[in-house]
Amino acid sequence: MIDAYSGATTFYVFDRQDPIIAAYRGIFPTLFADASAMPPELLVHVRYPQLLLQVQAVVYGLYHMTNPDVFYNREDLWTVATEVATSDQRQIVMEPNFVLMTLPGERATEFVEILPFTPAIATT
């Protein structure tokens, strides 16, 4: 957060176990604060970084498999879904989307970032 009046900068840490953040906190101890210190009116606007979700999705496409044989044979590979571009009918990889939805077992509607997967097409 950057204070518009004073220019003071505060970075809020959501994962205190992250080794990179821990290193930065050691170098700049006054620059970082725990997420619990973030003002509630700002906390409701925090979103998961789109690029981080995209990178994790690519990795998850392979590493979601829990059976070693299935993993070794790449029998259940997933890819990020594609969509047809409107102008030239070519396939493009979908980007994360924000939607309002009620998650299973919950009562409240939430603002959720989603990225759909499809089974990978085997190439032989």
What is the pTM assigned to this prediction?
0.63
Q: Which two tokens stand for residue 93?
A: 């990889």
Average pLDDT, the chain: 88
Q: Report the C-alpha gap between 81 and 115 in whole angstroms.
A: 8
Single out the residue of 44, 46, 41 nearest to residue 13, CA to CA: 46
Where does the chain show beta strands of DSSP type E?
11-13, 32-34, 78-80, 82-84, 91-93, 97-101, 110-114, 117-119
pLDDT at residue 77, as a whole number: 92
Neighbours of 113 (CB within 10 A): 13
pLDDT digits (tens, 9 = 90+) for 35-72: 999 999 988 888 888 888 898 998 999 999 999 999 99
